[in-house]
Structure 1
Amino acid sequence: MSRFSFPALSRSARRAGVVLATCLAAASMISCGGGTQAKRFEPQSFVVFGDDFALIKQDSARYNINTYRTGSTTAYTCNSQISWVMLLAFDLGFKFANECPDWNAAGDKVAVMLANDPTTVGLSASEIDTAVANAGANAVLTTINNNRGLLNDKTLVTVSVGRADIVKAYFTYLQTPDSATLSSLVSQLKTLGGNFAAGLKPVVSSGARMMVVLTPNLGESPLAKSDAANLARNKDALSTLSNAFNDGLTFALTTNGYTGQQVALVDVPRVQKSVVASYSTYGYTDIDTSACPSPQTVAPLCEFTTLSDVNVLSTHLWADPTHLNVAFDATIASTAYSAFRNHPF
């Protein structure tokens, strides 16, 4: 059975299953191309840390477009609008049994969902502060440290974080949109990303293998394009801030003694850039506006029946001002699975 052939995944999402993965390649790490494993690592446990980019809530809600379960108006199905972590878990033989009780695909082993819930992804100052407090880089590190007992040398961990911190920095920039402000915020985000990477040491010290999934480039998001009068300036600033966090994280991974047997990098912004450059090839017709007509600030961002045109599931790259649409999740999952299989864990 094809990895993406179970519950209704859009044709566009399947076409968009581009495999563009990378691993950490520095003097202290083994590159992707070097050799094969004497014995392939096959995880017996799968633990997901991160923020709203990875979260599945107890009612199956994700920060994307969701559909109600049959006969319910309070819980959501995991069998449509399938997120990248659900697809990756399926690839690895796991399922989120607690968060997705209606999951009808295979998977014998239970995955553990420990991603932080920002509780709001609204764009007011108070909502942004709440998201940072609940699901920013420092909050995610706290969750990781509080759950180290779950990790061992049979565990695969995914980590994804950054959206809330980057959004907060962007709105700080907009208050004084000059080069000095941007430079200061870039420095702060690089430091934050670097500190986050350094704080991941307990994960690899447990013997677990870790996949670090970089946060998307928000400089291409509807948020960055919401002010036509300052379009170029804002896109550049938000791209710069997104890159700053990711670059700080990546650089620290290569300089803090992590090895290629411990850590793989999933370069989502690189894949995103490739798709944006020729988006029509992947079935997208809109890379600028949100698929959700009136996005909520909680999960889900909108419910399927509220869509005026169901085709937006596959034609729009973004679900709301800062979240990629579900069609792109197949691309992320394919990239992550390729990174896992090709990496010398």
Structure 2
Amino acid sequence: MGNKGKPGYFGKHAKSSAALVSLAIHAVLLVVALSFVAVQVIVKDEQTFEAQKVKRPKMQLKKLTVPVNVKKKKVQKPKLRKTIVVKKEIKSMDIKMPEVSGVKGGMGYMDGGGGLGGLGFGLEIDLFGANKGTGNEFEGTFFDLKMDPDGKPAKMDENYYKEVLRNFDGSWNISRFEKKYFKAPKKKFATTFMLPKMKAEEAPKAYAVQDVVQPKQWVAYYKGVIAAPETGRYRFWGIADDVLMVRVKNRLVIDANWPSMGITGWTSNDDRDKKWKMSGQNVRIGDWFHLTKGKPTEMEVLVGERPGGFFFCHLLIEQDGVEYPKGEGGRPLLPIFKTQEIPEKLIPQMKIEPGTCTTDGPTFGVLK
């Protein structure tokens, strides 16, 4: 019986063994738990690392702002090119800059229609004038005598048209037109008054009012300053259909209106005027007026059309004491009056008939 009733090793250490087993199990669980946490940490670290990669394109977007600014700077390049072209053109005209006012060949319009008068260049120009002035032109204002300033119909017919011009001739006060009649917003700047026979609607078109103005009973008033190339006596020769009147120093020096107009009652002192008028040539010879070399002198011109259809006007100038070649009908071959050299592109448009006038001759501009 001696050892039968004694407990064995495990019996003696049953509690200890159970504790060890429990510890072992917990140890395993702890290892597993730590492994799971480690995996999670590794996964999170990898996700964080990928998130940093996503941020890289944002830095690249900031870098894109640099070329955008560069493009804005490049916009200025075309302007620099234009400036370079202008300098080349001015360089080609340098030899003419020292000329005195009124001398032939002074700084005039270039072939492309641009103008130089010390104040501007590259101007668009047509037979009625340029769209901008340089200082050597007559500023032109267009009026439709059939409408009031608001564009409503005004009292007007062919006979009343002549009466309105008679009243205007009494003072040449432009406010008479401005208060009562429609005025085109656009101005024109003319250096000559050599308009060939054309449709009367060309005038409203030149002043950009062709959509609102019927091509009849209109006038265009021009005012400017001239300077003679030489001291002496001068006079105009002119013809028009229907209206061409000129004042120098506030004095009417020629009425070259169509004969049937009968507006001013002006008559020429030259016997040849009556002769050519009776022969149907209708060329009028103006009164002499004195100009001092280089001295600025005011001058006004009024052109217009009464019934519509066609319009034209020619204004030439003669200097006393100068011999001119003979032209058509024995008339002197006079130069076209101008304040600058006529652009080459406009000369064909003037449709100058041989033996009537010439584009050669002095200029009467103030700026040279």
Q: By percentage of residues, which structure has more helix? A: 1
- Higher relative CO (Cα under 8 Å, sequence separation at least 6) belongs to 1
Q: TM-score, normalised by structure 1?
A: 0.23
Which structure: larger Rg?
2
Q: TM-score, normalised by structure 2?
A: 0.22
